[in-house]
A and B are shown apart, each in its own frame.
Chain A
Amino acid sequence: MARKSNRMSKKKPARAAAHSSSTNGTKTAAAKWVGQPIRRKEESRLVRGRGIFVDDEKMPGMLHIRFIRSSYAHAQISRVDVSKAEKFPGVVCTLTGAEIKKQVQPFIEIGPGGAQKIADYPMAVDKVVFQGEPVAAVVAETRLAAEDAGELVEVDYEPLPAVVSAEDALKDESLLHPAMGTNRNWHGVFEYGDVEKAFKQAAHVVHIGRLHFHRFSSTPLECNVIMANWDPRSGDIEYHCNNTFPSFASQFLAPALGVRIDQIHMKSFDIGGGFGIKITSYPYMAVCALASRKAGGRGVKWVETRIEHMQASAHGNERVFLDTRVALDQNGVILAIDSKHVDDCGGFPRYEPLGCVIWAQVLPATYRLKNIRIDMHQVVTNKCPVGPNRGYSRMQHLWFMERVIDICGQALGIPADAMRVRNYIRKNEMPYKTPNGCVYDSGDYASMLEAAKRLIGWDGWKKKQAAARSERRWVGLGIGSTLDSGTNNFGQARIINPDAPFSGQSKVGIVKLDIYGEVVVSMGSVPQGQGHETAAAQVVADALGITPDLVNVRPGFDTAHNAYTGHTGTYASQFAVTGLTAIHGAAMKLRKELSRLAAWKLEAKEKDLEFGIGAQGPEVRAKGTQKAINYWALANLVNVNNAGMPKSLWDITLNCRHVFHANFEIPDVQRKYGNLTLTYAAQIHAAVVEVDRETFQPKILAYACVDDCGKAVNPRIVEGQVHGASAHGIGAALLENCAYDSDGNLLTATFSDYTPITAMNMPELLYAHMESPSPFTLNGAKGMGEGGAAPVHTICAALQDALYPSGVIIDDSHNTGDSLFHALRKAESGGYAAMVRVEHRTASR
């Protein structure tokens, strides 16, 4: 492997070359470590309790902040009185929304038009729009003093009618943000092909009533934690926090706080889970900085409690799908879909309305359908603002598409597997251009489905199902096909707002040889359990012909490492593509520098050199000779021993930085057309679920996951991600729901009510991996980890199959024994009769 490397090092660094058909033509060194299921480097630290989390850190003289939060979902604030709290022993200062308003600009709004009039301040100023919204803060010497004093803050509210459903929001009877003039903060029609013509030609038209994708979240083990210090001398703000998209946060914070972006220093180390939900922690980051400034430049720490997290960090997007019409041909092939979707983003848009386009990355899901019209709306409601929760915006749409497939299949008497195979995009159509200009890079959905069926024993279960049905048992088999699109093109934001000043995608990797010859990698990524240190070490080990344990990867994000761009963060399933390509590029630059240095020192030609490990550690040697120079000596030449070095080598820094680019264009805003994302990992799951006839509880009898994320850089990490995403999805399908009452009170603000999934609820997961390498990426890898909520689709499909004969239509993504009990009652009284209507235009086969 090392022997070939000099030839390969002359090649152009590998890059995402969109539309190239070769899968590994850009490979630069034979993969010895990439592709191996090695144990995670970070494990040892984490399982020994040596992880470093923000709450483990202290600043000298550090203070603690506590928020006072609205108990109302929608109310005018008539009075805030902090005077008693300020007198409490140990209290240093307080902050109120009205006070903050004078010091900051409202945060940037991404949405166009009226949405620009939303004034999103870090704390509520004169009205609150969701329960838990902060209205004041107390800063004290101890956490306990802050808690005690917080109880002395007096706030008077004049309640306003709460808007808790998307449909009610559209009525505009009670406005959250009166300046916007409506609750609808975004609207656009996504129309492709000839929808009306397809309906005219259809053999069957299926009309589907309201479908609802529920609100759930991610409940990372570690809630938001922020430590901030606004230094009165430099005017710089230092953050230690667990925000997972630090570049995005900085770009929101700098204009709001009136500092230059280079004055914001941000650091994270180990993070106890994120799943996207921590991206929108910037309002709290702003308050912590303002508190530090008011306290005279002392550090301020905020450790979010679970109730705060549940009420007022971020939830996933909720969406309703209305007035759906589906045109099908005689064989159940979908010709067209026409539907109205209303997304509910809670009290403030924040990252939204990006979700109003991000779903379009997977517009036709895994299907070949060409004609589609989605009338997309987004509304604000008196609920917790949403954030990009794992599977963000695509899972809602994919769930809708899977419901459409299953409901149409049931209505036309076509089995779920056949329905999918007839509609799936075929392997030989890859790379496949979707009606809206996205390019699915690779994949073989039909073979994945076959694999999932084999894994679970589909045919055997079919027989058992028939037997069970004859005993009046409710057993259902379900399939969920989903996509995990990764490496997004921020240019899609233009479809939301033509003035949005961002596009493309970038990530930074830095690989350096330190003074004593250590290989050190800095990445801009913000891992929260995805094993970035390990994967990065595997890539660098291959590039330099060494072993992963010789590669020191700096965990976490640090602006001081200068390894970031404005896109830097860990989100949208992409590190395997963006981060690793950047790191690979940097490693190859370093390799080139080492090669030039060694050629000079060893008096050899670069092409005669090889990289490897010698008696004195990693080295470069002249093939077929005794001549070799190790990394220490090479680093020494540049750093502390450079007299006599020829001028031609003075450009060598041994500190190599590389920026990932993808071949993205700015989409056509008028047509809402363009390539919105680079890779499409796929998951096909299958499940057998029985609904107990006496308890109505759904029980998972068997569960299989087939995953294809292209080349797996580390199959062990991939499998772990699939397990995690599956648990999250099963939890969402059966247990986890952010339920609000009609006054906008969150009913699930503790784990006793939200019931995040535990090991006791998990079925055994059968797992198989397939590899359809991406033609667009280095090594053929695709981003993964979000998982596309495959279990939500799969479990709904299985429940549908189990209960369809009883007249139930599964119209919600969240189902419990209780809800199924009521669904069956509703079915008994014919309650679903109007839900699905089938028009047969010609005789069905």
Chain B
Amino acid sequence: MYAAPFSYHRAASLEEAVTLLRELGEEARVIAGGQSLIPLMKMRMARPGALVDIHLISGLNGIERSNGELRFGALARHAEIEDSRVASTIPILHDCAAGIADIQVRNQGTIGGSLAEADPSGDWGTALMALETSVICFGPGGERTVPLEAFIKDAYTTVLAHDELISGVHVKLPPKGSGGAHLAFKRTAPVYPTASASVELTLEDHHLCRDARIVLGCVGLTAIRAKEAEVALRGKTLDEKSIRTAVDAARAAADPQSDMRGSADYKRVLVGTLVKRAIGIAARRARGESVPAGHEYAGR
């Protein structure tokens, strides 16, 4: 469990990081929390020749509210988001942050690293896609803003150029009457979920669904927006029938693979149930109720 040899570089600014990446070439990788990269390096499944550490770049770890947005620095840790009063204004973010892996991983892992990794089972990609999220990318030509859905192209693949990095993540505050939930089923704490679902609803008069976003995690090469499921709810009264239609549509949208977390058949069933439950919690939250939710663990 020793990584193959690599050189280590520490960037003091975003500009320096970009320069280093360009100079070191294709074999260089950014390291943030190291919670995806280091395990892969230890197993020698990743062999970067050089690491560019972005930890000491100031201004990359804040969490603030401004201009109708929550703005996360790329280095905001899962644990910081879990504990953040500001972030808790959007409950789905707390649901997501508090259930990622275990406390050690949450103390190190970053929101930027998660999105850059684009792991099909990662929680952030799923939860943030249920909101209006933009990824701020910093490259040789300065900053560009990419909507999350365009940012993630495929499993482990994003639009980032080699010498480009994520500097921040901006999430638009949902309109009044909104509520969301991120639910994930996990076998044990330190593993990725078997399936996850994020739902964000905007309600009118407590029952009429003005808007809905439904995202499925771990059941495809990227987080999947179940658009048919959203259609089943949008403009409809939330009742058993519309929810059932949405759940069926979500199950149909899932494209899971069998692995040690579960068989494809089972994951499809599970993700539908998570969607159903997330809709229920999202609706209650949209009505102003405070409902605990998040990750569920086998056996309990």
Interface centre among A753, A758, A816 (most CB of B within 10 A): A758
Within 757-776 of A, Cβ neighbours of B (below 8 Å) are at 757-763
Q: Are A760 and B189 in contact (CB under 8 A)?
A: yes
Interface residues on B, range: 20 to 34
A512 vs B298: C-alpha distance in the bound complex, in angstroms? 51
What are 19 A-B interface contacts by the 8 Å CB criterion? A307-B1, A694-B273, A696-B270, A698-B298, A735-B187, A747-B260, A752-B191, A753-B260, A757-B188, A758-B102, A758-B188, A760-B300, A763-B299, A816-B187, A816-B298, A817-B270, A817-B298, A822-B263, A822-B265
Q: Which residues on A sit within 8 Å (CB–CB) of B299?
A: 698-700, 730, 734-735, 757, 761-763
Does B192 sit at the interface, judged by CB under 8 A? yes
- Beyond contacts A758-B297, A760-B188, A761-B297: 13 other A-B pairs, Cβ-Cβ < 8 A, are A151-B44, A694-B277, A695-B274, A696-B270, A698-B298, A751-B191, A756-B188, A757-B299, A760-B189, A760-B300, A761-B189, A761-B298, A817-B270
In the complex, what distance in Å separates the CA atom of A649 from the CA atom of B44?
68
B117 CB to nearest chain A CB (Å): 15
Q: Are B266 and A696 in contact (CB under 8 A)?
A: yes
Q: Which of A307, A695, A739, A747 contacts B270 (CB 8 A)?
A: A695
For window 150-202 of B, CB contacts with A under 8 Å fall at 185, 187-192
Docked pose: A148 CA to B5 CA in angstroms: 9
Shortest CB distance A697–B (Å): 6
Smallest CB gap from A700: residue in B: B299
Identity of the chain B residue whose Cβ is nearest the Cβ of A308 in the assembled complex? B1
Smallest Cβ distance from B39 to chain A, in angstroms? Answer: 9
Which residues of chain A from 700 to 757 have any CB-CB distance to chain B below 8 Å in the complex? 700, 730, 734-735, 739, 747-748, 751-753, 755-757
A735 adjacent to B262 (CB under 8 Å): no
Residues of B within 8 A of A734 (CB): 298-299
**Quick one: which of A696, A751, A818 has the most chain B CB within 10 A?**
A818
A761-B273 Cα distance, complex, nearest whole Å: 20
Q: How far is the CA of A735 from the CA of B260 in the complex (A)?
A: 11
Inter-subunit contact A751/B190 (CB<8 Å): yes
Q: A88 at the A/B interface (Cβ < 8 Å)?
A: no
The B263-288 residues at the A interface (CB cut-off 8 A) are: 263, 265-266, 269-270, 273-274, 276-277
Taking CB atoms, residues of chain A closer than 8 Å to B274 are 695
Q: Across the interface, name the chain B residue whose C-beta is closest to A747.
A: B260
Q: Which residue of the partner chain, among A700, A735, A763, contacts B188 with CB atoms under 8 Å?
A: A735
Q: Which residues in B have their C-beta under 8 angstroms from that of A151?
A: 44
Please state if A763 and B260 are interface contacts (CB–CB under 8 Å). Answer: no
Nearest A-chain residue to B297, judged by Cβ = A760
Q: Scoring A residues 631 to 645 as 1 if CB is less than 8 Å from chain B, else 0, what string do you get?
A: 000000000000000
Interface check B4, CB cutoff 8 A: yes
Please list the residues of chain B having a beta carbon within 8 angstroms of any beta carbon in chain A. Answer: 1-2, 4-5, 43-44, 102, 185, 187-192, 260, 262-263, 265-266, 269-270, 273-274, 276-277, 296-300
Minimum CB–CB distance from A367 to chain B (whole Å) comes to 29
* Contact present for B189 and A758 (CB under 8 Å): yes
- A432 partner residues in chain B, CB cutoff 8 A: none
Instruction: Provide the bound-state CA to CA distance between A817 and B263, in Å.
Output: 10
Q: How distant is the Cα of A392 from the Cα of B276 in the complex, in angstroms?
A: 44
In Å, the complex CA distance between A698 and B260 comes to 17
CB-defined contacts of B266 to chain A, threshold 8 Å: 696, 817-818, 821-822
- The chain A residue with its CB closest to the CB of B1 is A305
Determine the residue in chain B with the shortest Cβ distance to A697: B298
**Closest beta carbon of chain A to B3's beta carbon, Å:** 9
Q: Mark A664-706, 1 if CB is under 8 A from B, else 0.
A: 0000000000000000000000000000001111111000000
Contacts of B265 in A (CB 8 A): 821-822
**Partner of B273 from A305, A695, A699 at Cβ < 8 Å:** A695
B191:A755 contact, CB within 8 angstroms: yes
**A-chain residues with CB within 8 Å of residue B2 when the two chains form the complex:** 143-144, 147
Residues of A near B262 (CB, < 8 A) are: 816-818
Contacts of A696 in B (CB 8 A): 266, 269-270
Contact with B along A577-593 (1 / 0, CB 8 A): 00000000000000000
Counting chain A residues whose Cβ lies within 8 A of the other chain, the interface size class is: 35 or more
Q: Is the CB of A148 within 8 A of B188?
A: no
In chain A, positions 506-520 with a C-beta closer than 8 Å to chain B are none
CA–CA, A759 to B299, complex, Å? 11
Report Cα–Cα, A755/B298, bound state, in Å. 10
The closest CB in chain B to the CB of A145 belongs to B2
The chain B residue sitting closest to A699, CB to CB, is: B300
A residues less than 8 Å from B270 (CB atoms): 695-696, 817
Q: Which residues of A contact B191 (CB under 8 A)?
A: 751-752, 755
Q: How far is the CB of B219 from chain A (nearest CB, A)?
A: 14
Q: Give the 10 A-B residue pairs with the shortest CB-CB distance, closest first.
A: A694-B273, A761-B299, A753-B260, A818-B266, A760-B297, A755-B188, A147-B2, A755-B187, A818-B262, A760-B189
Contacts of A694 in B (CB 8 A): 273, 276-277
- Asked whether A752 lies within 8 Å of B298 as measured between CB atoms, the reply is no
Residue of A nearest to B263 (CB): A818
User: Once the chains are docked, how many angstroms separate the CA of A306 from the CA of B1?
Assistant: 9
How far apart sit A548 and B30, CA to CA, in the bound complex (Å)? 56
Chain A 281-311 per-residue mask, 1 if CB under 8 angstroms from chain B, else 0: 0000000000000000000000001110000
Contact string against B for A residues 760-804, beta-carbon threshold 8 Å, 1 for contact and 0 otherwise: 111100000000000000000000000000000000000000000
Report the separation of the CA atoms of residues A751 and B101 in the bound assembly, to the nearest whole angstrom. Answer: 12
Chain B: minimal CB distance from A567 (Å): 36
> How many angstroms from the CA of A333 to the CA of B270 in the assembled complex?
42
CB distance from B21 to the nearest CB of A (A): 26
Assess whether B189 is in contact with A700, with CB atoms less than 8 Å apart. no
Q: Which residue of B lies closest to A733 (CB)?
A: B299
A752 in contact with B102 (CB, 8 Å): no
Nearest neighbor of A701 in chain B, beta-carbon distance:
B300
**Closest A residue to B99 using CB positions:** A760
Q: Give Cα A758 to B297, complex, Å.
A: 10
Identify the interface centre among B5, B187, B269, B277: most chain A CB within 10 Å of its CB.
B187
Min distance, Cβ A479 to any Cβ of chain B, angstroms: 19
Docked pose: A457 CA to B297 CA in angstroms = 25
Once the chains are docked, how many angstroms separate the CA of A143 from the CA of B263? 39
Interface residues of A in 69-99 (CB under 8 A from B): none
Cβ contact within 8 Å between A758 and B190: yes
Residue of A nearest to B43 (CB): A307
> A303: nearest residue on chain B (CB-CB)?
B1
Nearest chain-B residue to A753 (Cβ)?
B260
Shortest distance in angstroms between A735's beta carbon and chain B's nearest beta carbon? 6
Nearest-CB distance from A147 to chain B (Å)? 4
**B4 A148 Cβ-Cβ under 8 A:** yes
Smallest CB-CB separation from A795: which chain B residue? B299
A821 contact set on B, CB distance < 8 A:
265-266, 269
When C-beta atoms are compared, the residue in chain A nearest to B42 turns out to be A305
